[in-house]
C-alpha cells in the first residue's frame, strides 16, 4: 500500500461531504496496548502523522504502555499517552513514567486526567495536581491535553450539574495562560450536535478559550455503543441510542457517527470561529472499523494541519 495515497487530495473518495472532510482533517484516535497488538500495520489504516493516544487502563503495566508508544513512534506516529492521576502513586512514579516515555519513545505529549478508579492509589486525585506538580513543564512537553465533559461528569459532580467541572476548567484556563505547552480539551464522547455546540459556546462565554478536540465514538454495534456509553457516564445524548434501540431489528447493526459529525462540520463551516479544533475518535467497534469509516468520509485524504 502506498502511504502517499493518504496525502493526495486527488486520491480522495468521490461523493464526499467536503465540510465533513475538512472537519476530519488531522483527527486523532485512541488505542490500548491490547488493541494495538491486534493491528499488524498501522500505516495500512491511519494516515502517517495521525496523533495516537495510548489509553492507560488500571492494571496495565507501564512497560506495556511504553512499548506500545515506542512501536507507534517508530512507525512515524506522534504519540500521546494517558497519565491517569489516581493510578500514579506519587511524584517519583510520575517522573519515572515521563522519563521512560521520553527515553524509549521520545514522547513529548500527554493527556492528563483523573482516571476511572474510585479511590486514588496514592498522592494524586485529579489532573490539576499533575499539572501543578510541574514535571511535564520541566521535561519540556510540547502538548498537554486535559479532559472535557460536554454533558457533565458524575464522578466530579456526583449530585449532578456542572459546578465542579466548570471550576476545574477555570483553573485549567489560568494554567493555560502560564505554560509553554499547547493545551487542548479532549472530551468524552456524545451523540448529539446541538448540546455539544451549546457547551462549546458556553466555554467561550465563560472566557475559556482552550481549543476543543471533540470526542466521538467510532462505528460499533448498537449494543456495544450503549454498553460503553453507560459505563462511561454519557449524559442526555444517550437518548439517541435508546431511541434507535427500540427498533429490535437495529440492535445488531452498526451505529456510526455520520449524523453528529456532519452537523458539527456544517456548524463549523458556517461559524469558522467555533472552537472545535479537531475530532478525537474512541474506536469502540475496533480500530480497523473506525479507520475505514474515516477513510470513506475523507479523513485519509486530509493532511493534518498541526500535529503538536
The pLDDT value recorded for residue 248 is 55
d(CA 256, CA 194): 17
Q: Using a pLDDT cut of 90, give the percent of the chain over it.
A: 69
pLDDT level of residue 305 (50, 70, 90 thresholds): very low
Asked if residue 14 has pLDDT above 90, the reply is: no
- Looking at residue 11, its pLDDT comes to 45
pLDDT at 298 over 70: yes
Query: Which residues have C-beta within 8 Å of that of residue 152, sequence separation ≥ 6?
Result: 160, 161, 162, 165, 235
In this prediction, residue 109 carries a pLDDT of 98
Mean pLDDT of the chain: 86
Per-residue confidence band for 1, with pLDDT thresholds at 50, 70 and 90: very low
- The CA distance from 238 to 222, in Å, is 11
Q: Is the pLDDT of residue 49 over 50?
A: yes
The pLDDT > 70 percentage for the chain reads 79
Cα(first)–Cα(last) distance of the chain, in Å?
A: 27
Question: Does 236 score more than 80 pLDDT?
Answer: no
In order of their start, the domains of the chain are 3-301 (3.20.20.220)
Q: Over the stretch 109-124, which tens digit does the pLDDT of each residue have?
A: 999 999 878 899 999 9
Residue 103's pLDDT is what?
97
DSSP string, 61-85: -HHHHHHHHHHHHHTT--EEEEEEG
Q: Tens digits of per-residue pLDDT, 151-191?
A: 755 566 555 566 677 888 999 999 999 999 999 999 988 88
pLDDT confidence of residue 151: 73
- Per-residue b/e over 23-58, b at no fewer than 16 CB within 10 Å? bbbbbbbbbbbeebeebeebeebbbeebbbbbbbee
Look at residue 293 and tell me whether its pLDDT is greater than 90: yes
pTM of the model: 0.86
DSSP state of 169: H
What local confidence, expressed as pLDDT, does residue 299 receive? Answer: 85
pLDDT for 117 equals: 83
Cα 222 to Cα 220: distance, rounded to the nearest angstrom: 6
251-278 tens-digit pLDDT: 566 788 999 999 999 999 999 999 999 9
Amino acid at each position: 500500500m502506498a502511504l502517499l495515497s493518504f496525502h493526495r487530495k486527488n486520491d480522495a473518495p468521490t461523493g464526499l461531504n467536503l465540510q465533513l472532510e475538512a472537519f476530519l482533517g488531522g483527527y486523532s484516535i485512541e488505542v490500548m496496548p491490547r488493541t494495538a497488538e491486534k493491528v499488524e500495520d498501522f500505516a495500512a489504516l491511519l494516515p502517517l502523522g495521525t496523533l495516537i493516544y495510548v489509553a492507560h487502563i488500571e492494571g496495565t503495566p507501564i512497560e506495556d504502555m511504553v512499548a506500545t508508544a515506542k512501536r507507534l513512534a517508530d512507525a512515524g506516529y506522534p504519540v500521546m499517552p494517558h497519565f491517569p492521576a489516581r493510578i500514579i502513586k506519587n511524584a517519583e512514579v510520575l517522573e519515572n513514567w515521563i522519563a521512560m516515555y521520553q527515553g524509549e519513545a521520545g514522547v513529548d505529549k500527554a493527556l492528563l486526567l483523573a482516571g476511572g478508579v474510585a479511590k486514588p492509589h496514592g498522592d494524586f486525585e485529579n489532573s490539576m495536581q499533575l499539572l501543578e506538580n510541574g514535571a511535564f513543564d520541566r521535561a519540556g512537553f510540547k502538548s498537554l491535553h486535559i479532559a472535557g465533559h460536554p454533558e457533565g461528569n458524575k464522578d466530579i459532580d456526583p449530585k449532578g450539574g456542572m459546578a465542579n467541572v466548570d471550576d476545574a476548567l477555570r483553573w485549567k484556563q489560568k494554567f493555560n495562560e502560564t505554560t509553554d505547552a499547547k493545551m487542548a480539551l479532549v472530551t468524552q464522547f456524545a451523540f448529539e450536535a446541538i448540546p455539544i455546540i451549546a457547551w462549546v459556546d458556553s466555554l467561550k462565554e465563560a472566557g475559556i478559550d482552550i481549543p476543543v478536540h471533540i470526542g466521538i465514538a467510532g462505528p460499533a454495534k448498537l449494543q456495544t455503543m450503549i454498553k460503553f456509553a453507560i459505563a462511561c457516564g454519557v449524559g442526555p445524548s444517550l437518548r439517541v441510542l435508546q431511541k434507535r434501540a427500540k427498533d429490535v431489528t437495529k440492535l445488531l447493526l452498526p451505529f456510526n457517527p455520520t449524523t453528529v459529525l456532519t452537523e458539527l462540520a456544517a456548524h463549523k463551516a458556517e461559524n469558522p470561529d467555533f472552537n472545535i479544533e479537531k475530532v478525537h475518535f474512541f474506536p469502540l467497534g475496533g480500530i480497523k472499523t473506525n479507520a475505514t469509516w474515516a477513510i470513506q468520509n475523507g479523513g485519509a485524504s486530509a493532511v493534518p494541519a498541526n500535529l503538536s
